[in-house]
Amino acid sequence: METVSTNKAFGGTQGVYKHASAVTGTEMTFSVYVPPHAEGAKLPVVWYLSGLTCTHANVTEKGEFRAACAELGLIFVAPDTSPRGEGVADDPEGAYDFGLGAGFYVNATEAPFATHYRMRDYIEQELPALIAAEFPADMERQSIMGHSMGGHGALTIGLRNTGRFKAISAFAPIVSPLNCPWGEKALSGYIGTDRAKWREYDACALIEDGARMPSGLLIDQGTADGFLENQLKPELLEAACRATWQPTTVRMQEGYDHSYYFISTFMAEHLAWHAERLKA
Amino acid sequence: METVSTNKAFGGTQGVYKHASAVTGTEMTFSVYVPPHAEGAKLPVVWYLSGLTCTHANVTEKGEFRAACAELGLIFVAPDTSPRGEGVADDPEGAYDFGLGAGFYVNATEAPFATHYRMRDYIEQELPALIAAEFPADMERQSIMGHSMGGHGALTIGLRNTGRFKAISAFAPIVSPLNCPWGEKALSGYIGTDRAKWREYDACALIEDGARMPSGLLIDQGTADGFLENQLKPELLEAACRATWQPTTVRMQEGYDHSYYFISTFMAEHLAWHAERLKA
């Protein structure tokens, strides 16, 4: 692991790091905020998965998470959204919603994406091992959140690994790739056209198929979000949860859009909700 | 005035606006955050002046001021740092510390800069009139802060207009353009080589020449700031204030650098300090 930059912030250290990923076969960059802490202490870890077009940098610069992480004693990890670099396949037309910046947190099986697009294994296995080795992280206390495509990532990775994560939340998540244009494009491109194989990458399907998060799900969704009706569809998640008794709070936030102005507004509340579950 | 964008944030509205400035002879862009407020209420206004290379966007995205402004009921105005556009002279070598993004909050008298570089009049006169006309602003309650070159702007504009501003603070300000390379380059280029004329654009000289801010000055300065020794020199301001009984608090912040990671850490404390004086 190589340190790209560190800056003192709110008494702790905001760092950016890179490493050669064996899983993606590329160099991967990520950011970690470590709050002020007693020497030798091990701190709970919150994972934040970003949305389409983003890198680690968007939430690191605009997420306004450091004040709350410093107060609550939380490590905050922000990975990239796809492999990048020479030889990494992209959308044939360079679209923003597939390929670079749009890994959808899956292990691709279709050529030419299967070579590098293995974001599921990267987030589920390789990066946690690196975080455990390099930072004062208590890996027995992890939680996960994300935005939009990263909200989909947080919900699906969280629901598939409920033993690992003590809390799951999302800002304006894609709740069902099976039922929206972004998801249909991405999963057919990465996984192929057999939709039965998509179910492990669909939060609603995972819940229908039996995944349960006892500590509940927290979703904030802006009512002025331009992607709400066609792509995000929180009502599908509410219906899946209602039908299965999965505890879920979906808060429709009046007048908020899809931007970091929305995310930063509710970030501290999400982190407090995570901290409550991480420290229970 | 034309609205470029608005986003709901922390219950209020973060807007970006542009207008044809008669003072600079260019189109000028600025941002304004208006916190949630009762209909018909007039709110105090905090001016934030940015540093070299910045536009309104840096603090708007990275400043983490909205939570505190929403809580304290403060309007937050972030102007640009220079005129821009076709026909606006720049540093002959395109350097970052003169010309575009580096107006130093002066009225230039030297050709070719005198034509457009009139940031003093823009901040002191034209933009306040626009803010008063277009926003729910109580212009009897204004304060000013800034970073680096913008800290210089906040200190000098504040000290020249102590009747207008109830509080002045700065993050890592240039405290004496007469005594640092950035200042010498900028003021000789904009104002000419007669250093007596620079004194109205030098916070230390203004204090030596009699300017007083009864409510005090608040300065935060990181000890790991790479510009500290050669450009910023807070000890000169401390000496000028000590010699004149100007009340001043300079806080040397251990390990902090010159970035927005530093600024955002102490932003809420500055805003609370401003609010106390704005509401006194």
- CATH number reported for the structural domain that contains residue B210 in this entry: 3.40.50.1820
State the pLDDT confidence band at B280, using cuts at 50, 70 and 90: confident
Q: What percent of chain B has pLDDT over 90?
A: 99
- B124 in contact with A, Cβ within 8 Å: no
Residue numbers of B between 205 and 264 with CB closer than 8 Å to A: 222, 224, 255-257, 259-262, 264
SS3 A137: strand
Read off the pTM: 0.96
Burial class (CB in 10 A: 0-12, 13-18, 19+), A129: exposed
Residue B175 φ/ψ, nearest 5 degrees: -95, -15
- The pair of structure tokens assigned to A14 is 């905001």
Across the interface, whether the CB atoms of B256 and A8 are under 8 A apart is answered: yes
> Which one of A14, A261, A268 has the shortest CB-CB distance to B7?
A261
Residue B77 β-bridge partners: B32, B47
Show pLDDT as tens, one digit a residue, over chain A (280 residues).
Answer: 999 999 999 999 999 999 999 999 999 999 999 999 999 999 999 999 999 999 999 999 999 999 999 999 999 999 999 999 999 999 999 999 999 999 999 999 999 999 999 999 999 999 999 999 999 999 999 999 999 999 999 999 999 999 999 999 999 999 999 999 999 999 999 999 999 999 999 999 999 999 999 999 999 999 999 999 999 999 999 999 999 999 999 999 999 999 999 999 999 999 999 999 999 8
> Which one of A10, A67, A257 has the shortest CB-CB distance to B8?
A257
Q: State yes or no: pLDDT of B116 exceeds 90.
A: yes
pLDDT score at B222 = 98
Active site annotation includes A148: yes
Nearest to A16 by CA among A28, A26, A25: A28
- A125 in contact with B, Cβ within 8 Å: no
- B146 in contact with A, Cβ within 8 Å: no
User: Do residues A72 and A275 lie in contact, with contact meaning Cβ atoms separated by under 8 Å?
Assistant: yes
pLDDT 10s digits, B194-231 = 999 999 999 999 999 999 999 999 999 999 999 999 99
> Which one of B8, B14, B256 has the shortest CB-CB distance to A224?
B8
For residue A112, is the peptide bond before it cis, meaning its omega torsion is within 30 degrees of 0? yes
DSSP code, position B197 = G
pLDDT 10s digits, B117-137 = 999 999 999 999 999 999 999
Our CA-based measurement puts residue B262 at a distance from the nearest CA of chain A, in whole angstroms, of 6
Across the interface, whether the CB atoms of B257 and A7 are under 8 A apart is answered: yes
- B87 in contact with A, Cβ within 8 Å: no
- Contacts B7 to A, Cβ<8 Å: 257, 259, 261-262
- Contacts A259 to B, Cβ<8 Å: 7
Residue B89 φ/ψ, nearest 5 degrees: -60, 150
Q: How remote is the C-alpha of A236 from its chain's centroid? A: 19
Across the interface, whether the CB atoms of B64 and A64 are under 8 A apart is answered: yes
Q: How many domains does chain A have?
A: 1
Our CA-based measurement puts residue A91 at a distance from the nearest CA of chain B, in whole angstroms, of 29
Mutate to test the interface with A, among B54, B59, B265 (most CBs of A within 10 A): B265
Nearest to A234 by CA among A159, A160, A148: A148
CA distance A60 to A58: 5
Over range B43-70, report the average pLDDT: 98
- Residue given tokens 């605009």 in the structure block: A62
- Contacts B54 to A, Cβ<8 Å: none
pLDDT score at A280 = 82
Cα-based distances in Å from B62 to A62, A65, B68, B144: 6, 11, 14, 18
Active site annotation includes B50: no
Q: Is the dihedral of CA A262, A149, A78, A84 positive or negative?
A: negative
Burial class (CB in 10 A: 0-12, 13-18, 19+), B2: exposed
Active site annotation includes B258: yes
For residue A44, is the peptide bond before it cis, meaning its omega torsion is within 30 degrees of 0? no
DSSP code, position A48 = E
Residue B19 β-bridge partners: B28
| Neighbouring residues of A188: CB distance < 8 A, sequence distance ≥ 6 | none
| Neighbouring residues of A253: CB distance < 8 A, sequence distance ≥ 6 | A220, A221, A222, A223, A262, A265, A266
- Contacts A64 to B, Cβ<8 Å: 64, 67, 264
CA distance A125 to B49: 45
- B91 in contact with A, Cβ within 8 Å: no
Our CA-based measurement puts residue B224 at a distance from the nearest CA of chain A, in whole angstroms, of 9
Supply the range of the domain harboring residue B19. Answer: 2-278
pLDDT score at A1 = 96
Over range B18-28, report the average pLDDT: 98
- Tell me the Cα Rg of chain B: 17
- Contacts A264 to B, Cβ<8 Å: 9-10, 64, 66
Mean per-residue pLDDT over chain B, rounded:
98
Strand pairing class (A137-147; A43-49): parallel
pLDDT score at A136 = 98
Cα-based distances in Å from B158 to A256, B152, B181, B193: 35, 10, 23, 24
- The pair of structure tokens assigned to B169 is 């603070």
